[in-house]
Chain A
Amino acid sequence: MSDVTAETAIPVPPRPWKYRDTALRILIPIGVVIGLLIIWQAIVTINEIPPYILPGPVLVAKALVRDWATLFPALLVTAQITFISLMLALAGGVGFAVFLVQSRWIETAFYPIAVILQVTPIVAISPLILIYAPSTQVALLICAFLVAFFPILSNMVQGLKSVDHNLLNLFDLYGASRWQTLLYLKLPASLPYFMTGLRIGGGLALIAAVVAEFAAGSAGAGSGLAFRLLEAQFRLNIPRLFAALLMLSVLGVLIFMLTSFIAWLSLHRWHESSLKREN
């Protein structure tokens, strides 16, 4: 309420307030997290809960430092699978969407196949993929790709079909080629839809990479964080399990921040979703 009156009543924007606002926006969530960690540690210490059931945050931090040499390469493997599959899903999703909207018949013929791929639980087909794929890494990539592909595809199809009809008429009127209409009108117009697909797909790619690795259960030097997580569970090394979990969360947050930033970067100058309302 206070900043509303400040905006309307005082012509000069009160700068110190703005900084305080920003600072609070960062400090409050951090404070809450620290508070929760303290409560967690207190519960563990007071109740003398053994670390193989619930380790305290201090123990998890120690495990993170101690097992860094094991966990970090695993994180890189998972991150790599996530990003490569996301890139493939972006290229495939956009490409297939452009192909689908070329004619109503193409869409009628191929869209159901995409839906079938999407609605079939990925865990259920991962054993098959593991048999046919030349290596476990490739199998994981295919699984993560299949999951991230669909939201990007369906958002892109929606975006490509939602182009302003008058603008399409205008392009017709000026004799634009199919290629020009795609490049200068349809693709830019569906950018907001693409960004939605990207954000959903980014999150799903990580989930799918982890789930696929659970299903694959691959061991060895090139295994990802999900395997390290399972391994820690088998060995009742619960602090390490929490440490691996923490790394996955951080990776997820980073992906979310990155995709949100890309969306902001490409839309903030013109799209309604990125505008601050001032009224």
Chain B
Amino acid sequence: MTEQAIASPPHASHPGTRRPLVVMKSVSKVFSSGTVALSDMSLTVESGEFISLLGPSGCGKSTALRIIAGLGDTTTGSIDWPSSRINSRGLPEGDISFVFQEPTLMPWQTVFGNVHLPLKLRGVSKAAARADIMTALETVGLKDFADAYPRELSGGMKMRVSIARALVTRPKLLLMDEPFAALDEITRQKLNDDVLKLWRDTGITVIFVTHSVFESAYLSNRIVVMKARPGRVHADLPLVTSLERGELYRSSEEYRQACELVSKTLLDAMGGVEEH
């Protein structure tokens, strides 16, 4: 069963289905401290979308992402996976991957060992997983670094390993929690382009949490702007562009206008409240 899940390309396994990939229904989350992190949030994610969750700190965008990933329960509301097989923990079987803000690699394992982890936890041996691991490493351009330890890599390279690890299970949905926030601008742009290419090539669905207007306008074809205290959806902006996202788009008038619109919406979401 697990072998099958790895072997078949996820986006090809549901040809023609127009059912959404994941649906959040009036999800609320109250922490044990009493903080309302998320209030009545609903979101329908279609297969193949690149969604950015954008908002000021404390708007619950990371919390929403974690709830979708099954890390932490909802207080009220539910998460549905209309087009996936559900396992005993209420999560789609092997269909989601998560990239954290930090690379979150195991320092005692090589790059190969780190990328092997998701498969190892399913009981796939090193030998059986080798081809998949090398493919994932090739996708992020780290094929020659399989035997390196994380400490030997730069920040950007570590992030690539983290992405390779997320891709090795060939998930339908990739959740990214401010993955490039800690990187320098140049590395960040390069990785943004790489993620876009990945999205175009594989048809994977991406939910990308960010606090950067420019990043969200560059990457996504739908931006969900969120509002803080309590965290909730403020606006849901579709972003269809005539140009393919790339260098040309980055300097186009279309991109500038998109940024302006998103900026305005975000400012509106912050409601003139002084932010630190």
Residues of A within 8 A of B (CB): 164, 166-167, 169-176, 180, 184-185, 188-189, 191, 269-272, 275
Task: Enumerate chain B interface residues (CB-CB to A < 8 A).
Answer: 66, 69-71, 87, 89, 91, 96-98, 100, 102, 104, 106-109, 117-118, 120-122, 149-151, 169
Residues of A close to B104: CB separation below 8 A: 164, 166-167, 170
Nearest A residue to B105 by beta-carbon distance? A167
B residues in contact with A166, CB < 8 Å: 100, 102, 104
B218 to A: closest C-beta gap in Å: 26
Picked from A171, A173, A188, A275, the residue with its CB within 8 Å of the CB of B108 is A188
Is the Cβ of B96 less than 8 Å from the Cβ of A173? yes
24 examples of A-B residue contacts, CB within 8 angstroms: A164-B104, A166-B100, A166-B102, A166-B104, A167-B104, A167-B106, A169-B100, A170-B100, A172-B71, A173-B70, A174-B121, A174-B122, A174-B169, A175-B121, A175-B122, A184-B120, A188-B109, A189-B106, A191-B108, A269-B108, A270-B149, A270-B150, A272-B151, A275-B151
Contact B107 A180 (CB under 8 A): no
From residue A159, how far is it (CB to closest CB) to chain B in Å?
13
Q: In the assembly, what is the distance between CA of A279 and CA of B71, in Å?
A: 41
Q: Which residue of B lies closest to A177 (CB)?
A: B121
Q: Which of B89, B100, B108, B121 contacts A270 (CB 8 A)?
A: B108
Alpha-carbon gap, A184 to B120, bound state (A): 10
Chain A interface, >50% SS class: helix
Within 8 Å by CB of B98, from A170, A184, A269, lies A170
- The CA-CA distance from A169 to B71 in the complex, in Å, is 7
B121 touches A171 (CB 8 A): yes
- Give chain B residues whose Cβ lies under 8 Å from the Cβ of A188: 106, 108-109
Asked if A175 and B87 sit within 8 Å, CB to CB, the answer is yes
- Say whether, besides A169-B71, A173-B70, A180 and B121 are in contact (CB < 8 Å): yes
List of B residues within 8 angstroms of A189 by Cβ: 106, 108
Given contacts A185-B106, A270-B149, A271-B107, contact A176 B121 (CB under 8 A): yes
Chain A hits for B106, CB < 8 A? 167, 185, 188-189
Roughly how many angstroms separate A180 CA and B91 CA in the complex, as a whole number? 19
